[in-house]
Amino acid sequence: MLGRFDYQRPSTLPEAGRLLAGNDGPAAVLAGGTDLLVDIRGRRHDPRILVDIKRIDALRRLDVDSAGALTIGAAVPLNEIIERAAIRRTLPGLVQAAESIATYQLRNRATAVGNLCNASPAADMAPILLALGADLMAWSPHGERTMPLSSLFVGVKKTCLAADEIATELRILAPEPGLRSGFLKQQRLRGHDLAVSSAAGTYAPSTGVLRLAVGSCAPTPLLLEPIEVGRSSKAVVEEKAVRAVQAAMRPISDTRASADYRRAVLPVLVKRLVADLLAEGGAP
C-alpha cells in the first residue's frame, strides 16, 4: 500500500471544498497522481485524505473556442491536450511541452494543472503557459479567483494556493493571428527525463512581440520581459534574448546537472528557440 489515507471522489466543487476543509488532518487534491502518489510512496508527503477531482465534470473541460481561446480543466490528462487537433494546429509549443513530459502511460494520467501545482522548477508545462500568458482559476469555499500563472509559483514545490483552494482550470486567450510557439528541453537522454533546462516562447508576427520563459534554472519557472522584435535582425534578437536569460537565471547543481552546464546550455536552447520562432515561414 502507498500509505494510509482516506479517499473521496466528489462530483462537485463545493463537495470537494468541504472535504479539503475537513478537520481530519492534511488533505491533498488528487488529479493524475503521478507526482502526488510518488511523493506519498516516498513519504515526502503524508496526507490523511485524498480528494480525487477527476469526476468533477466542470474540471474535465478541454475547450477551444472559435477564436482559439483555450480552457484546460484541472482533470484533463496531457494526452487529451496532445491529441486535440485544434491545439496541435494553433499552439504547437504547448503540445511539444506536453509531449516532453514523462511517458505515454503517465500522460494518460498526468494533468497540465497538476504539473503546475506540483511547482517543480522543472515543470515542463510552466514555461510555455507563462509565455502564453495563461491565467489559472482557483476555487475555494470563499470564492473563485483568477491569477496570472506567474503568481502561482512562490518557491521550489511551493504555490500560493491555500489549503482549501483547488486550481480548477487554465485559460489562455485566443492567440494573435499567426502566433508561433515553441518549446525546447534539454534532457540527459532522449527517453523520458526531467528537464535539465527548458525554454518556451511565442512570437506574434502581427505585433512583433517575442515572449520567452525558461525552466529548471531558478527556484521557479521564469517569465522574461517581452522583447519587441521590430526591425531588429535575428542575430540581434537572439543576442538580446540570451542576455535576458543569462541575467535572470540562477541555476543550481544537482544530480541532473551542474549549474555550469545549465548556464551553458540554456542560452543555446533560447537561441535555437528564438531562431525557430523568427524563421520566415516558421511553424505557426
Partner 1 sequence: MVNGHMETASVPSGLTLLEFLRDRLYLTGTKEGCGIGECGACTVLLDEKPVTACLVLAVEADGCTVETVEGEAADGQLSVLQRAFVETGAVQCGFCTPGMIMSARGLLRRDPNPSDNEIVEAMAGNLCRCTGYAAILEAVRLAAVAVAAQRAAGPLTGETVGSQPAAETLMGETGTERRRFLRGAESTRKDGRR
Partner 2 sequence: MTRELRVVGTSVLRDDAIDKVTGAARYTTDLAFPGMLHAAILTSPHASARIVHVDLEAARAVPGVRAVLAGSDLDVRLGLYLRDKRILARDVVRYQGEPVAAVAADTLDAAREACRRIRVEYDELPAVFDPRDAMAADAPLVHPDLASYDHMRGVFFPKPGTNVAHHQKIRKGDVRASLAAADVRIEASFYNPPVQHVPMETHASIAQALPESRVEIWTSSQSPYTVRHLLSACLGLPHAAIRVHVPYVGGGFGGKAGLGLEPLATVLSRAAGGRPVLVTATREQEFNTTPSRQGLHSTIKIGATRDGRITALEATYVWDAGAYADYGVNVGRAAAYSGAGPYAIDHCSIDSYVVYTNKVYGTAYRGFGHLEVLWGIERAMDQMARKLGLDPAEFRRRNLLKEGATTITGELFTAGHGKPVECLDAVAKAIDWGRPSGAPSAPHKVRGKGIAMLHKAPAMPTYTSCAAVIKLDEDGAADVLVSGVDYGQGTYTVLRQIAAEELGLPIGKVHLTWDCDTALTPYDWQTVASRFSYMGGNAVIEAAADCLRQLTAVAAQALGVAPETIVCQDEVAFPAAEPDRAISYKDLALGYTFPNGNAIGGPIIGHGRFIATGLTHLDPETGQGRPAQFWTYGAHAVEIEVDTETGEIEILHIATAVDAGKVLNPLSCTGQVIGGVVQGLGSTLLEGFQFDDKGRLLNPSFVDYKIPTAKDLPRRMTPIFLENPQSGGPYGARGVAEHPMISVPSAIGNALADALGIDYTVLPLSPERVLLGIQKREKTP
For position 255 contacting partner 2 by CB under 8 A, the verdict is yes
Give the Å distances, CA to CA, from 63 to 13, 99, 100, 185, 194.
19, 19, 22, 27, 28
Q: Strands 27-30, 49-52: parallel, antiparallel or unpaired by DSSP?
A: parallel
Q: Which of 19, 34, 68, 128 binds partner 1 (CB under 8 A)?
A: 34
**Cell 485524498 belongs to residue:** 50
Nearer to partner 2, 176 or 193 (CB): 193
What is the secondary structure of 31-78 as a DSSP string?
A: SS-TTHHHHHHTTS---SEEEE-TT-GGGG-EEE-TT--EEEETT-BH
User: Which residue lies nearer to partner 1 by CB, 192 or 240?
Assistant: 192
Q: 72 or 194: whose CB is closer to partner 2?
A: 194
**Crossing angle of helices 234-248 and 259-278, rounded to 10°:** 150
Shortest CB 7 distance to partner 1, Å? 4
Looking only at residues 86 through 145 of this chain, which bind partner 1 when binding is defined by CB under 8 A? 102-106, 108-109
Answer for which of 46, 57, 228, 260 binds partner 2 (CB under 8 A) is 260
Cα–Cα distance for residue pair 253/216, rounded to 1 Å: 11
- H runs (alpha helix) in 182-281: 234-248, 259-278
Question: Rounded to an integer, what is the distance from CA 85 to the centroid of its chain?
Answer: 20
Query: What gap in Å lies between CA 129 and CA 136, rounded to an integer?
Result: 10
In the complex, minimum distance from the CB of residue 234 to partner 2, in angstroms, rounded to a whole number: 15
- Of residues 173-192, which lie at the interface with partner 2 (CB under 8 A)? 186, 188-192
Contact with partner 2 (CB under 8 A): which of 21, 37, 264, 275? Answer: 264
β partners of residue 167? 138
H or E segment and range at residue 21: helix 13-21
- Residue 7, interface with partner 2 (CB under 8 A)? no
Residue 150 interacting entry, from partner 2, partner 1, none, C-beta within 5 to 8 Å by type: none
Site string for partner 1, 192-231 (x = CB under 8 A): x---------------------------------------
Q: Which of partner 2, partner 1, none does 257 bind, CB closer than 5 to 8 A by kind?
A: partner 2
Residues 229 and 278: beta-carbon distance below 8 Å: yes
Q: Using an 8 Å Cβ cutoff, are 245 and 193 in contact? A: no
Asked if 259 touches partner 2 (CB under 8 A), the answer is no
Nearer to partner 2, 88 or 261 (CB): 261
The footprint of partner 2 (CB under 8 A) covers 1, 186, 188-194, 196, 255-258, 260-261, 264-265, 268
The footprint of partner 1 (CB under 8 A) covers 1-7, 9, 30, 33-34, 37-38, 41-42, 50, 52, 54, 79, 102-106, 108-109, 191-192
